[in-house]
Amino acid sequence: MTSTLDTDLTRDAFLGGRLHLWQPRSGYRAGVDPVLLAASVPAQSGESVLDLGCGVGAAALCLGARVPGLDLMGVEQQAEYAALAARNGLPVAVGTVTDLPDEVRCRSFDHVLANPPFFDRKSGREASDAGREVARGLNTPLSDWIKAGAKRLRHKGYLHVIHRAERVPDLLAAAQGRLGSPEIWPISPRVGRAAELVIFRARKDGRANFRLHAPIILHEGAQHLRDADSYAPVIRAVLREGAALGI
Protein backbone atom coordinates (compact mmCIF):
# COMPACT_ATOMS: atom_id res chain seq x y z
CA MET A 1 0.00 0.00 0.00
CA THR A 2 1.59 3.22 -1.11
CA SER A 3 -1.23 5.72 -0.65
CA THR A 4 -3.74 6.55 2.04
CA LEU A 5 -6.02 8.70 -0.15
CA ASP A 6 -9.65 7.86 0.51
CA THR A 7 -9.98 6.69 -3.10
CA ASP A 8 -7.49 3.93 -2.23
CA LEU A 9 -9.55 2.85 0.79
CA THR A 10 -12.83 1.15 1.56
CA ARG A 11 -14.91 1.48 4.72
CA ASP A 12 -16.20 -1.97 5.48
CA ALA A 13 -18.89 -3.22 7.85
CA PHE A 14 -18.06 -5.82 10.49
CA LEU A 15 -20.29 -7.51 13.08
CA GLY A 16 -23.41 -6.88 11.05
CA GLY A 17 -22.69 -3.15 10.78
CA ARG A 18 -21.92 -2.62 14.46
CA LEU A 19 -18.37 -1.69 13.45
CA HIS A 20 -16.95 -0.01 10.34
CA LEU A 21 -13.27 -0.09 9.45
CA TRP A 22 -11.18 1.80 6.91
CA GLN A 23 -9.04 -0.65 4.93
CA PRO A 24 -6.83 -0.48 1.85
CA ARG A 25 -8.76 -1.23 -1.33
CA SER A 26 -5.90 -3.53 -2.37
CA GLY A 27 -3.34 -5.26 -0.17
CA TYR A 28 -4.00 -7.00 3.10
CA ARG A 29 -7.63 -6.76 4.23
CA ALA A 30 -9.04 -8.07 7.49
CA GLY A 31 -11.37 -11.02 7.11
CA VAL A 32 -12.92 -13.63 9.38
CA ASP A 33 -9.80 -14.56 11.35
CA PRO A 34 -9.47 -11.44 13.54
CA VAL A 35 -13.23 -11.51 14.21
CA LEU A 36 -13.00 -15.10 15.46
CA LEU A 37 -9.95 -14.22 17.53
CA ALA A 38 -11.79 -11.33 19.17
CA ALA A 39 -14.82 -13.52 19.85
CA SER A 40 -12.64 -16.04 21.72
CA VAL A 41 -11.44 -13.54 24.35
CA PRO A 42 -13.39 -13.56 27.65
CA ALA A 43 -12.43 -9.98 28.49
CA GLN A 44 -14.36 -7.92 31.02
CA SER A 45 -15.00 -4.19 31.18
CA GLY A 46 -12.08 -2.34 32.74
CA GLU A 47 -9.43 -4.80 31.55
CA SER A 48 -6.53 -3.88 29.27
CA VAL A 49 -5.90 -5.45 25.86
CA LEU A 50 -2.87 -5.30 23.54
CA ASP A 51 -3.24 -6.28 19.88
CA LEU A 52 0.17 -7.26 18.48
CA GLY A 53 0.45 -6.67 14.74
CA CYS A 54 -2.97 -5.05 14.79
CA GLY A 55 -3.19 -4.08 11.11
CA VAL A 56 -6.18 -1.74 10.78
CA GLY A 57 -7.32 -2.73 14.27
CA ALA A 58 -9.93 -5.37 13.41
CA ALA A 59 -9.38 -7.80 16.31
CA ALA A 60 -9.10 -5.24 19.09
CA LEU A 61 -11.98 -3.12 17.80
CA CYS A 62 -14.26 -6.13 17.33
CA LEU A 63 -13.52 -7.08 20.93
CA GLY A 64 -14.15 -3.51 22.05
CA ALA A 65 -17.49 -3.46 20.21
CA ARG A 66 -18.59 -6.52 22.20
CA VAL A 67 -17.14 -5.53 25.59
CA PRO A 68 -17.46 -1.83 26.43
CA GLY A 69 -15.01 -0.15 28.75
CA LEU A 70 -11.85 -1.97 27.65
CA ASP A 71 -8.47 -0.22 27.61
CA LEU A 72 -7.34 -1.08 24.07
CA MET A 73 -3.88 -0.66 22.53
CA GLY A 74 -2.39 -1.79 19.24
CA VAL A 75 1.10 -2.21 17.80
CA GLU A 76 1.67 -2.26 14.05
CA GLN A 77 4.95 -2.13 12.15
CA GLN A 78 3.54 -0.67 8.91
CA ALA A 79 2.93 3.04 9.42
CA GLU A 80 0.16 3.18 6.79
CA TYR A 81 -1.82 0.45 8.52
CA ALA A 82 -1.16 1.97 11.94
CA ALA A 83 -2.61 5.25 10.64
CA LEU A 84 -5.74 3.42 9.52
CA ALA A 85 -6.04 1.69 12.90
CA ALA A 86 -5.87 5.10 14.58
CA ARG A 87 -8.46 6.46 12.16
CA ASN A 88 -10.67 3.49 13.02
CA GLY A 89 -10.44 4.45 16.69
CA LEU A 90 -7.71 2.20 18.10
CA PRO A 91 -4.86 3.80 20.07
CA VAL A 92 -1.82 2.45 18.24
CA ALA A 93 1.96 2.70 18.27
CA VAL A 94 4.31 1.92 15.39
CA GLY A 95 6.77 -0.85 16.20
CA THR A 96 7.58 -4.53 15.80
CA VAL A 97 7.23 -7.49 18.13
CA THR A 98 11.02 -7.57 18.52
CA ASP A 99 11.28 -3.80 19.09
CA LEU A 100 8.15 -2.65 20.86
CA PRO A 101 7.70 1.10 21.35
CA ASP A 102 8.36 2.55 24.79
CA GLU A 103 4.68 3.29 25.46
CA VAL A 104 3.98 -0.44 25.16
CA ARG A 105 7.10 -1.79 26.89
CA CYS A 106 6.30 0.18 30.03
CA ARG A 107 2.87 -1.46 30.40
CA SER A 108 1.38 -4.84 31.21
CA PHE A 109 -1.97 -6.11 29.97
CA ASP A 110 -4.74 -8.48 31.00
CA HIS A 111 -5.00 -9.85 27.45
CA VAL A 112 -2.67 -9.91 24.47
CA LEU A 113 -4.06 -10.79 21.02
CA ALA A 114 -2.05 -11.85 18.00
CA ASN A 115 -2.87 -12.93 14.46
CA PRO A 116 0.72 -13.56 13.29
CA PRO A 117 1.59 -14.05 9.62
CA PHE A 118 0.74 -17.59 8.57
CA PHE A 119 3.39 -18.39 5.99
CA ASP A 120 7.10 -19.01 6.44
CA ARG A 121 8.85 -17.13 3.64
CA LYS A 122 11.85 -19.48 3.85
CA SER A 123 9.74 -21.93 1.86
CA GLY A 124 7.10 -19.80 0.11
CA ARG A 125 6.75 -17.02 -2.45
CA GLU A 126 6.37 -13.39 -1.50
CA ALA A 127 3.12 -11.54 -2.22
CA SER A 128 3.35 -8.79 -4.83
CA ASP A 129 1.74 -6.23 -2.51
CA ALA A 130 4.06 -5.06 0.28
CA GLY A 131 1.28 -4.67 2.86
CA ARG A 132 -0.08 -8.14 2.14
CA GLU A 133 3.41 -9.64 2.29
CA VAL A 134 4.18 -8.24 5.75
CA ALA A 135 0.79 -9.39 7.02
CA ARG A 136 0.93 -12.89 5.51
CA GLY A 137 4.64 -13.73 5.32
CA LEU A 138 6.41 -14.83 8.50
CA ASN A 139 9.75 -13.02 8.58
CA THR A 140 9.72 -12.76 12.38
CA PRO A 141 9.79 -16.24 13.99
CA LEU A 142 6.56 -17.30 15.66
CA SER A 143 8.49 -17.78 18.89
CA ASP A 144 9.25 -14.04 18.95
CA TRP A 145 5.53 -13.26 18.80
CA ILE A 146 4.85 -15.56 21.76
CA LYS A 147 7.81 -14.17 23.68
CA ALA A 148 6.71 -10.57 23.12
CA GLY A 149 3.13 -11.34 24.12
CA ALA A 150 4.17 -13.21 27.25
CA LYS A 151 6.39 -10.34 28.39
CA ARG A 152 3.56 -7.85 28.14
CA LEU A 153 1.11 -9.90 30.20
CA ARG A 154 0.47 -9.20 33.84
CA HIS A 155 0.19 -12.03 36.37
CA LYS A 156 -2.57 -14.44 35.29
CA GLY A 157 -3.09 -12.56 32.02
CA TYR A 158 -3.97 -14.43 28.82
CA LEU A 159 -2.34 -14.65 25.41
CA HIS A 160 -4.73 -15.42 22.53
CA VAL A 161 -3.44 -16.41 19.07
CA ILE A 162 -5.11 -17.58 15.88
CA HIS A 163 -2.88 -19.52 13.51
CA ARG A 164 -2.56 -22.41 11.08
CA ALA A 165 -3.22 -25.87 12.55
CA GLU A 166 0.16 -27.19 11.44
CA ARG A 167 1.88 -24.62 13.66
CA VAL A 168 0.49 -26.08 16.90
CA PRO A 169 3.83 -27.73 17.81
CA ASP A 170 5.58 -24.37 17.33
CA LEU A 171 3.00 -22.55 19.46
CA LEU A 172 3.36 -25.03 22.31
CA ALA A 173 7.16 -25.03 22.09
CA ALA A 174 7.29 -21.23 22.11
CA ALA A 175 5.03 -21.06 25.18
CA GLN A 176 7.15 -23.56 27.13
CA GLY A 177 8.78 -21.80 30.08
CA ARG A 178 6.91 -18.54 29.38
CA LEU A 179 3.23 -19.38 29.71
CA GLY A 180 1.15 -22.09 31.33
CA SER A 181 -2.35 -23.60 31.06
CA PRO A 182 -2.17 -23.96 27.25
CA GLU A 183 -5.41 -24.66 25.38
CA ILE A 184 -6.17 -25.36 21.72
CA TRP A 185 -9.48 -25.00 19.89
CA PRO A 186 -9.26 -26.50 16.38
CA ILE A 187 -11.27 -24.63 13.73
CA SER A 188 -12.68 -26.90 11.01
CA PRO A 189 -14.42 -25.66 7.86
CA ARG A 190 -17.08 -28.41 8.09
CA VAL A 191 -17.98 -31.54 10.03
CA GLY A 192 -15.61 -34.34 9.10
CA ARG A 193 -12.97 -31.99 7.68
CA ALA A 194 -9.52 -31.56 9.18
CA ALA A 195 -8.87 -28.39 11.15
CA GLU A 196 -7.17 -25.65 9.13
CA LEU A 197 -6.85 -23.06 11.91
CA VAL A 198 -6.58 -23.10 15.67
CA ILE A 199 -7.17 -20.68 18.49
CA PHE A 200 -4.39 -20.97 21.03
CA ARG A 201 -4.70 -19.59 24.54
CA ALA A 202 -2.20 -19.68 27.41
CA ARG A 203 -1.86 -17.91 30.74
CA LYS A 204 0.94 -16.05 32.46
CA ASP A 205 1.89 -18.12 35.54
CA GLY A 206 -0.83 -20.64 34.67
CA ARG A 207 -0.53 -24.12 36.16
CA ALA A 208 -3.31 -26.13 34.51
CA ASN A 209 -2.62 -29.07 32.22
CA PHE A 210 -2.80 -28.78 28.44
CA ARG A 211 -6.32 -29.02 27.02
CA LEU A 212 -7.36 -29.92 23.48
CA HIS A 213 -10.98 -28.87 22.97
CA ALA A 214 -13.67 -30.04 20.57
CA PRO A 215 -13.42 -28.35 17.17
CA ILE A 216 -15.23 -25.17 16.25
CA ILE A 217 -17.18 -25.87 13.02
CA LEU A 218 -17.49 -22.90 10.67
CA HIS A 219 -20.07 -24.11 8.12
CA GLU A 220 -23.15 -26.29 8.14
CA GLY A 221 -23.27 -29.41 6.00
CA ALA A 222 -20.59 -31.74 4.74
CA GLN A 223 -19.89 -29.72 1.59
CA HIS A 224 -20.59 -26.39 -0.08
CA LEU A 225 -23.74 -26.84 -2.19
CA ARG A 226 -24.78 -23.33 -3.22
CA ASP A 227 -23.52 -19.78 -3.40
CA ALA A 228 -24.98 -18.60 -0.09
CA ASP A 229 -24.07 -18.06 3.54
CA SER A 230 -23.67 -21.50 5.14
CA TYR A 231 -22.12 -20.47 8.47
CA ALA A 232 -23.09 -22.51 11.50
CA PRO A 233 -25.44 -20.61 13.84
CA VAL A 234 -22.77 -19.90 16.48
CA ILE A 235 -20.38 -18.55 13.83
CA ARG A 236 -23.12 -16.51 12.17
CA ALA A 237 -23.87 -14.94 15.56
CA VAL A 238 -20.18 -14.04 15.95
CA LEU A 239 -19.83 -12.54 12.48
CA ARG A 240 -23.22 -10.82 12.15
CA GLU A 241 -24.15 -9.99 15.75
CA GLY A 242 -20.81 -9.56 17.52
CA ALA A 243 -21.45 -12.52 19.83
CA ALA A 244 -18.76 -14.29 21.83
CA LEU A 245 -17.62 -17.77 20.89
CA GLY A 246 -18.17 -18.77 24.50
CA ILE A 247 -14.99 -20.79 24.80
Q: Name the pTM for this structure.
A: 0.89
Per the domain annotation, does 4 fall within a domain?
no
Q: Would you state the pLDDT for residue 228? A: 57
Q: What is the CATH number of the domain that holds 95?
A: 3.40.50.150
Helix, strand, coil shares, percent, the chain, to 5 = 30, 30, 40
Mean residue pLDDT of the chain comes to: 91
Report the C-alpha gap between 174 and 141 in whole angstroms. 10
Per the domain annotation, does 205 fall within a domain?
yes
- The per-residue pLDDT for range 125-150, each reduced to its tens digit, is 554 444 444 444 457 999 999 999 99
CA-to-CA separations, 159 to 42, 76, 120, 154, in angstroms, rounded? 11, 17, 22, 10
Per the domain annotation, does 246 fall within a domain?
no
Does residue 4 register a pLDDT over 70?
Answer: no
Report the C-alpha gap between 92 and 72 in whole angstroms. 9
- The per-residue pLDDT for range 163-202, each reduced to its tens digit, is 999 999 999 999 999 999 999 999 999 999 999 999 999 9
Per the domain annotation, does 24 fall within a domain?
no
Report the C-alpha gap between 81 and 119 in whole angstroms. 20
Residue span of the structural domain in which 36 resides: 31-241
Helices (H), the chain: 32-39, 58-66, 79-88, 102-105, 130-136, 142-151, 168-175, 233-241
- Using a pLDDT cut of 70, give the percent of the chain over it: 87
Does residue 158 register a pLDDT over 80?
Answer: yes
Per the domain annotation, does 14 fall within a domain?
no
Per the domain annotation, does 9 fall within a domain?
no
Asked whether 41 and 111 are in contact (CB, 8 A), the reply is: yes
Q: How many domains does the chain have?
A: 1
Per the domain annotation, does 115 fall within a domain?
yes
Q: Would you state the pLDDT for residue 226? A: 60
Per the domain annotation, does 81 fall within a domain?
yes
Lowest pLDDT segment from 9-13, 33-37, 131-135: 131-135
